[in-house]
Structure 1
């Protein structure tokens, strides 16, 4: 039986690599990006795979998110991957935090994943078990923050981890797994060319972790190699 996944931020980086990998392994992929006309690599995949549906959507437009969920009401999902994310201004140090930029990052990285989970919860209930996977970051770990700085991005991912923990508790009766995942330091526009791994390595590791999740993993924080990370 064909499995179905919705991936946000699928037009580049890890999102694009995840889309390619799930398509190659026979999944039906609903791939989201903000502007399909600017997503050449993603649209090219439609010429190669019949199992790809493109969804143009700003994940912070919650009315549009609800409308999309309503339009897909009869489409069960096995997996929701909240991948879309932004870093915000780099080099932000104590005393020079851009509050408006902070709000924008929190909107994309923290609020949107929860609103997507709320909107698509009825679809994911059909999974066996259904999974909500949120791409977080090791820099969101309180325990591992020994350097300071990074207030905007760090706090958005720490807050996302809290969202995942609450989701795991609320959705446990339905057998839905909620998990926070660290993809590694990846060679993307955000991670930079000096990062340690490429997007395909990250995607392969993330998929393997997701494939092997059990209900006992729900509410935990894991990296792309399957290691558990401290909050």
Structure 2
């Protein structure tokens, strides 16, 4: 595909959905900068054009500040924060380890918003701050229970993202919370509905369609609105 004059920063792209997004954005001609916490051979091997690589741990404010400084002067049409964990997801919260639940909350809710705040000045006018959420973060759609700490962390992320969007109401970019679908990844498991490519291709198409829009949207990989 012909190269587009668009750029994306993908935070957490070493494997799974982040890697799939890097591949999908590259295939559509975007300039891609992708971050990892450690070595990422699959990401580095993407071809025919490999993304620019950077290191960051979103749970470490010093690491995030260093990345912000390293990317001084850069502007991205999309900043897409993918990084997240599901430790202890199948254990009911009262029976689980308190430290594990708090770590899930930190990584899935607190750190993405702190990252978004730090990088708000790196989003180009008409661009988007995109945060990887989940339908499991929908309070109104929780009719089956389960995945309690993970659900709560994504619901918290959704609430914090709404506040982030309001706080930056005068900024020239929008905010999108993205549900990727139930995807066959290490987190989603082998019985999930769709593969990584289907999810990633859909999310990139949705993101392209949202460019230039303001406010805060909660969408799935098909572009459909998810109930809060």
SS of residue in 1 equivalent to 2:112: helix
C-alpha distance in 1 between matches for 2:109 and 2:94: 23
Equivalent residue, structure 2, for 1:204: 201
| Residue equivalent to 2:187 | 190
Partner of 2:109: 110
5+ long unaligned stretches in structure 1: none
Does 1:13 find its partner at 2:16?
yes
Q: CA RMSD in A?
A: 1.6
- Per the alignment, do residues 216 and 19 of structure 1 end up closer, same or farther by CA in structure 2, a change over 3 Å counting? closer
The equivalent of 1:93 in structure 2 is 92
How much has 1:105 moved relative to structure 2?
0.8
Aligned-partner Cα distance in 1 for 2:61–2:114: 7
Note if contact 2:175-2:216 (Cα within 8 Å) is conserved in structure 1: yes
1:175 alignment partner, one of 172, 176, 195: 172
- Say which SS state the counterpart of residue 29 (structure 1) adopts: strand
Q: State whether structure 2 residue 162 is matched by structure 1 residue 165.
A: yes
Query: Residues of 2 paired with 1:184 and 1:218: CA distance?
Result: 22
- Identify the residue that residue 45 of structure 2 maps to in structure 1: 44
More strand by share: 2
Contact 2:126 2:213 in 1 (8 A): no
Query: How many Å apart are 1:94 and its aligned residue?
Result: 5.1
Q: How many residues align?
A: 225
- Aligned partners of 1:168 and 1:176 also within 8 Å: no
Does the C-alpha gap of structure 1 residues 10 and 94 become closer, same or farther in structure 2, counting only changes over 3 Å? closer
Give the whole-Å Cα distance in 1 for the aligned partners of 2:36 and 2:172.
Answer: 29
Does 1:22 find its partner at 2:25? yes
Q: Work out the CA distance in 1 between the residues paired with 2:147 and 2:135.
A: 12
C-alpha distance in 1 between matches for 2:107 and 2:16: 16
Corresponding residue number in structure 2 for 1:229? 226
3-state SS of 2:169 partner = helix
Q: How big is the shift at 1:97?
A: 2.2
Measure, in 2, the Cα distance between the counterparts of 1:48 and 1:106: 37
CA distance, structure 2, for counterparts of residue 98 and residue 215 of structure 1: 43
TM-score (norm 1): 0.92
Measured after TM superposition, the shift of residue 214 of structure 1 is 5.7
1:13 touches 1:199 (CA, 8 Å); kept in 2?
A: yes
**Which runs of at least 4 in structure 1 moved beyond 3 Å after TM superposition?**
214-217
